[in-house]
Structure 1
């Protein structure tokens, strides 16, 4: 198959492949460079689109582009709804309600004023576009929160506001457009309002019914495991299409409600469903941003003047902060968190997609200034994405609303050796948290001043009470191999499989009784079991930390203490890496090594053999 057609257009299959490769490639490169992925995706789309002319969505994909973006946005909002479990709200519930019920209408008003007096749009165009600007973009917020590692409450405020207000913004635009339509056509106000109410009612009923029905069918076993995701996708598309047929853009509300219902239905397979949806959303967010950036029309942007810059400044520095501060007044949300939320309002895919649609509709009603809506939307998205993409993490750190500067370690299981290891980490200024379901097992850790949590790390209480964002490494080290394997397997997607470790399992005489090697965490330290590690501490082995310098190298350290077992390496920036026995240790000046050393006088002592 040729890459390009005779007319110079790229073949649709190659176009989709290019979008996918650039989207995922941008996400990976952003991870490697520790940069906001959204920024790289916008840059990649602009480069292959209007700059180089390699890819033009309107030319190469044609009429498929609009439905692709609509379905992608619907799936993204549904996945966002799946993350909105009411149990995660806790003390952020009041703030979220205020940002939705007070912030949405107030944001509509302040945005419309910024458009009227900043960008110079007519009241009609400002009212419609101002409704769309209620949204703060879950497509942008989710990647930013993942990078910035915010504390629980401000993260919950931003996430809930973005996802819940997204469909509200789209419906606000529908309402404003309905009023404009009544004022400038023969359509009656009563007919327009009836259509709006029916559309919202159908969307709410469809979303709730689909969510409850799906949850019930999954719980009762009416759908086999291998068909749950396909059934979910098919029902999602059906709900979106049916609702959108009744009232355009109401499908976004329907799928969001459907997601929230499923998220709070306590499904046994909920975690697997959500993780699959997260993976799909990463692909969709990447693709949609590439498509929108590649379809950018520089000629349309050329219509903008200095008033576009004034409009963006008014939105970022006046409209957004004013909306948040008024909404959260008297809510009990600390001022630092209010400041962070007030100056964090990135816009995303939904804003550009819906703004383009209503811009075309207003142009059809002969509002000439509606031609500026699409370019203004893209400029606002580009500026806020770049601004918040680079500023959110340092701004949150300055306010003290992120996890610890040094990524910490969670130690699962209280025992002599885990307590000794935790003390060594604490002396090295690495945050450490020890958890154990047995309160008594944590007595020595509490005496040593180590942070503890008495309970199951997989419990709902742990999810609500622990700031897991402060920790980057997990060590499963109880005396129960099966539990260690369960914890490491379950939390591996959360921490990353390279950052989840567990102690060596007990050897079983019968191979059929062995746990699969594909499950669990990575091994580290001496190749001995939990019991043998405890025995080493009883025999006098200790954890010692050594700092390497240009004069005192790794080779010097090994010559000085050949019997020691390196357990962890701490880089100059504070990141920690657990080391497996005989693994090559890359170490230079200012690297610290935490090693398990035998008591003085034992020479080349070896760890006790497993029995």
Structure 2
């Protein structure tokens, strides 16, 4: 029997895929627990598993499938990015995004090529091709950074839109430069190269737009059953990418981005379900791609780099990127702080490494010797930019005052006597709080108390544009409508995390015929009182109290002195508030310095004052 025998230490493909998933998702989970940039840990995990220990080698363990898998994963990532580009979300960032794309991209290409030529010492052929790729700032790294830094809406939108739109443009710029080099190094006619480029870009735009409009039409008219929408979406995505790429290499990235952009602005009823599923898929794909790319790195290739490589990276991050942004955003209404933040934030990601490695090999085949340096330079740039920006974006944004809130706040849905009392207690404890209600009269007391309010439906498009949700960590739905509370908690659960979304108990929730599935609604808090009961207590004289615990005065002493108090939540040493559900109170082990937020009945409150 003639069978190929795997080399010593080789993993089976199934084991290799399992290892990639475990390392990628595990790195993201550890990063979440440690509050570190996830990209940094994913790079470290890939390097340790790959070139550092030799445990995993994609070329050896997965074989020729590794490269096409990365290409398809990047296509899905860019499609998900396009799917998040709703034109209505641009609002006041539209002018800045246009300038970063139409002025910043060409200028960035030029400055990057100059950095490569005079900084890294590459030939003009390699510098022009790699400079086009360097336009990209990487949605795969920007998205996790924005999630961690919790930027204000406008600078966050600028960075997100620039990254997603410039990613396929960077790949196409590299194609354009490569076609020019191809004409210069071979007998290929310039006319045929230009025709191929125009045909490829035109095909990508037409295929992407046609697929997006076609899917929107089919979904809106129920031509596709609900349970098949995501599979159909995936299948069409892969077909569009493959068809466009067959006409012009790397044009598939533009096609899938356009397809996602069209669907995002089609106002589909099932859009949120599609977007959330794609977000979950993207998290897995980003993890896998970073592990594969890091594990594929050859340390011997890095040995070919010298001190000029470090000079090149420094010039790109400290000169080329800031100069590009400042020139592009000149004469706009954007404050200088926002310009500075965007100028000093330009991490590169998956697309840069994947496309750079491909074109580096192609340049070598044409006889451009220093094309071999493109791959190592790309990985060095990605690693340094990810580490630097991953650790500096959040503190730099806080220094400039461009975070949604210094301390994660509480979003209260529903204005009432009880919610205003809670908001006042949290405000006095320096916890950011906002009350939202669609009934203006319900907000009168909150307005008089100096509490931030939003007049309108918290699920509306207006709320999406005007409420800085990045500044809030916890949501409590506390209106007089149980069905609406359940809707709010269910809708906002995936965005905030279901463990941070609460609602007042339903009036008839205990009866079996009224009980809803566990997947709907928010978590209970306090003693599970209903809207009526909470507000009745306020009229009876109950009051909110915030009590700081110490070494001598702990939870047991607090409970002993306030036997009838209802514990609602706690504020930790960082000023972050968290509700306490009924089942959590017995397991609560607060540290000294923690503040307890509770409701005291009149008798306990009077005893406290007398003491």
Unaligned segments of structure 1, at least 5 residues:
605-611
Question: How far off its partner does 1:223 sit?
Answer: 0.2
Give the secondary-structure state (helix, strand or coil) at the position aligned to 1:568: strand
Unaligned segments of structure 2, at least 5 residues:
none
Matches for 1:491-510 after TM superposition, within 5 Å: 491-507=492-508
Matches for 1:228-239 after TM superposition, within 5 Å: 228-239=229-240
Q: In the TM superposition, what whole-angstrom CA distance separates every residue of 1:473-527 from its partner, at most 9, and x where no partner exists? A: 0000001111000000100011111100000111268633333343100000122
Mapped partners of 1:403, 1:264: distance in 2? 26
Mapped partners of 2:549, 2:132: distance in 1? 59
Compared CA separation, residues 118 and 601, structure 1 to 2 (3 A): closer
Mapped partners of 1:17, 1:588: distance in 2? 39
Mapped partners of 2:44, 2:524: distance in 1? 40
Q: Is the 2:505–2:530 contact (alpha carbons within 8 Å) kept by the matching residues of 1? A: yes
Is 1:196 the counterpart of 2:197 in the alignment?
yes
Is 1:599 the counterpart of 2:602 in the alignment?
yes
Aligned to 2:522: 521
Q: Is the 1:563–1:603 contact (alpha carbons within 8 Å) kept by the matching residues of 2? A: no
Q: Is the 1:565–1:581 contact (alpha carbons within 8 Å) kept by the matching residues of 2? A: no
Is 1:17 the counterpart of 2:24 in the alignment?
no
Mapped partners of 1:35, 1:355: distance in 2? 27
Matches for 1:116-131 after TM superposition, within 5 Å: 116-131=117-132
Aligned to 2:558: 557
Mapped partners of 1:64, 1:581: distance in 2? 51
Q: In the TM superposition, what whole-angstrom CA distance separates every residue of 1:285-332 from its partner, at most 9, and x where no partner exists? A: 000000000010011000000000000011000100000000000121
Question: How far off its partner does 1:6 sit?
Answer: 5.2
Q: In the TM superposition, what whole-angstrom CA distance separates every residue of 1:16-65 from its partner, at most 9, and x where no partner exists? A: 11000000000000000000010001001100111100111111111101
Question: How far off its partner does 1:429 sit?
Answer: 0.6
Aligned to 1:453: 454
Q: Is the 1:554–1:588 contact (alpha carbons within 8 Å) kept by the matching residues of 2? A: no
Aligned to 2:116: 115
Mapped partners of 2:278, 2:42: distance in 1? 20
Give the secondary-structure state (helix, strand or coil) at the position aligned to 1:600: helix
Is 1:344 the counterpart of 2:354 in the alignment?
no
Q: In the TM superposition, what whole-angstrom CA distance separates every residue of 1:341-371 from its partner, at most 9, and x where no partner exists? A: 0000000010011001111111011111111
Give the secondary-structure state (helix, strand or coil) at the position aligned to 2:60: helix
Aligned to 1:609: none
Q: Is the 2:565–2:604 contact (alpha carbons within 8 Å) kept by the matching residues of 1? A: no
Compared CA separation, residues 296 and 266, structure 1 to 2 (3 A): same
Mapped partners of 1:587, 1:359: distance in 2? 56
Is 1:473 the counterpart of 2:462 in the alignment?
no
Aligned to 2:139: 138
Question: How far off its partner does 1:576 sit?
Answer: 1.2
Matches for 1:9-158 after TM superposition, within 5 Å: 9-158=10-159
Is 1:586 the counterpart of 2:553 in the alignment?
no
Is 1:219 the counterpart of 2:213 in the alignment?
no
Question: How far off its partner does 1:603 sit?
Answer: 8.5
Compared CA separation, residues 100 and 509, structure 1 to 2 (3 A): closer
Compared CA separation, residues 129 and 601, structure 1 to 2 (3 A): closer
Mapped partners of 2:518, 2:78: distance in 1? 37
Mapped partners of 2:539, 2:474: distance in 1? 26
Mapped partners of 1:518, 1:493: distance in 2? 11
Aligned to 1:368: 369
When normalised by structure 2's length, the TM-score is 0.97
Matches for 1:86-485 after TM superposition, within 5 Å: 86-485=87-486
Question: How far off its partner does 1:7 sit?
Answer: 4.0
Q: Is the 2:153–2:404 contact (alpha carbons within 8 Å) kept by the matching residues of 1? A: no
Mapped partners of 1:442, 1:160: distance in 2? 35
Q: Is the 2:508–2:514 contact (alpha carbons within 8 Å) kept by the matching residues of 1? A: no
Compared CA separation, residues 523 and 8, structure 1 to 2 (3 A): same
Give the secondary-structure state (helix, strand or coil) at the position aligned to 1:572: coil
Give the secondary-structure state (helix, strand or coil) at the position aligned to 1:54: coil
Mapped partners of 1:201, 1:587: distance in 2? 62
Which one is further off, 70-79 or 561-570? 561-570
Q: Is the 1:360–1:370 contact (alpha carbons within 8 Å) kept by the matching residues of 2? A: yes
Which one is further off, 592-601 or 470-479? 592-601
Give the secondary-structure state (helix, strand or coil) at the position aligned to 1:569: strand
Give the secondary-structure state (helix, strand or coil) at the position aligned to 2:603: coil
Give the secondary-structure state (helix, strand or coil) at the position aligned to 1:268: coil
Q: In the TM superposition, what whole-angstrom CA distance separates every residue of 1:537-575 from its partner, at most 9, and x where no partner exists? A: 000000011111122222221121111111111111111
Q: In the TM superposition, what whole-angstrom CA distance separates every residue of 1:372-428 from its partner, at most 9, and x where no partner exists? A: 000000000000010111111111111111121211001100111111111111111
When normalised by structure 1's length, the TM-score is 0.97
Mapped partners of 1:356, 1:222: distance in 2? 42
Mapped partners of 1:603, 1:312: distance in 2? 66
Give the secondary-structure state (helix, strand or coil) at the position aligned to 2:266: coil
Which one is further off, 259-268 or 541-550? 541-550
